Amino acid sequence: MADVKIVMAYKCYNMNPHKLEQLVHGFFGRTCLNIDVYDNNGNRHIPREWFIAPLHVEQ
């Protein structure tokens, strides 16, 4: 519903993309952004692909 900015991209080889997505959701599941988004027609959408996670982590 809005423009997006890609901040990072990765190429993955020899992987099952469905399995990778399951792993990402399992790993970040507790950090899923809890938000309701309403479109121009007033329909509510609950995104499950948005996570609150830092792009850079200091060690």
Number of domains making up the chain: 1
pTM above 0.85, yes or no: no
Mean per-residue pLDDT over the chain, rounded? 86
The range of the structural domain enclosing residue 46 comes to: 30-54
CA distance 17 to 19: 5
| 6-20 pLDDT per residue, tens | 888 888 899 998 999
Does residue 41 fall inside a structural domain?
Answer: yes
Does residue 42 fall inside a structural domain?
Answer: yes
Does residue 35 fall inside a structural domain?
Answer: yes
Asked whether residue 57 carries a pLDDT value surpassing 70, the answer given is no
Is 29 strand, coil or helix?
helix
Does residue 20 fall inside a structural domain?
Answer: no
